Amino acid sequence: MVFLCEVFAFPMALIEWRKEGEDVILPGDDPHVSVQSRGGPMKFELSSWLQIEGASPRDSGTYRCIARNDLGSVSATAVLGVLGPEDMSAYVRDSMVEMTDMMDYSPSRNYEEDYY
């Protein structure tokens, strides 16, 4: 899973990532979380990525990208929801029921017929 944050600022901004409810600037000491940043390609542009390898339900939450320079700060948030295997199978089952209802599925319907 990757979140991207792009900032155009003069003077150049610094970007930090945080997860709501935690008092640590990411990546912290978590080996499956990494942050990368680079300048450009446009003048005064900074791009930063927050990457979570092998995201699990414990990674669910609200993430915030905060850009700061001498003139102030601005932030943007994104919400990540990760389903566990048991939740995923329930989600797929419910989605299939919903799609079947929308298609007005009938086992006796002849799908070999052409409808023009």
Percent of the chain with pLDDT over 90: 67
Per-residue pLDDT band at 3 (split at 50, 70, 90) = very high
pLDDT band per the 50, 70, 90 thresholds, residue 75? very high
The answer to whether position 112 is within a domain reads: no
Q: Is 95 domain-assigned?
A: yes
The rounded distance, in Å, linking the Cα atoms of 36 and 15 is: 10
CATH number of the domain within which 68 lies: 2.60.40.10
The answer to whether residue 74 sits within a structural domain is: yes
Q: Is 109 a member of any domain?
A: no
> What pLDDT is recorded for position 106?
58
Reported pTM: 0.73
Q: What are phi and psi of 68, to 5 degrees?
A: -130, 140
Res. 97 pLDDT band, cuts 50 70 90: confident
Residue 32's contacts (CB-CB under 8 Å, 6 or more residues apart) are: 52, 53, 54
How is the chain split among helix, strand and coil, in percent rounded to 5?
20, 40, 40
Q: What is the pLDDT of residues 11-39, one digit of tens each?
A: 999 999 999 999 999 999 999 999 999 99
**How many structural domains does the chain have?**
1
Would you say residue 115 lies in a domain? no
**Distance from C-alpha of 40 to C-alpha of 43, rounded to nearest angstrom:** 6
> Does the pLDDT value for residue 107 go beyond 80?
no
Domain extent for 16 = 2-103
pLDDT (mean) for 89-98: 76
Whether residue 97 is contained in a domain is answered as yes
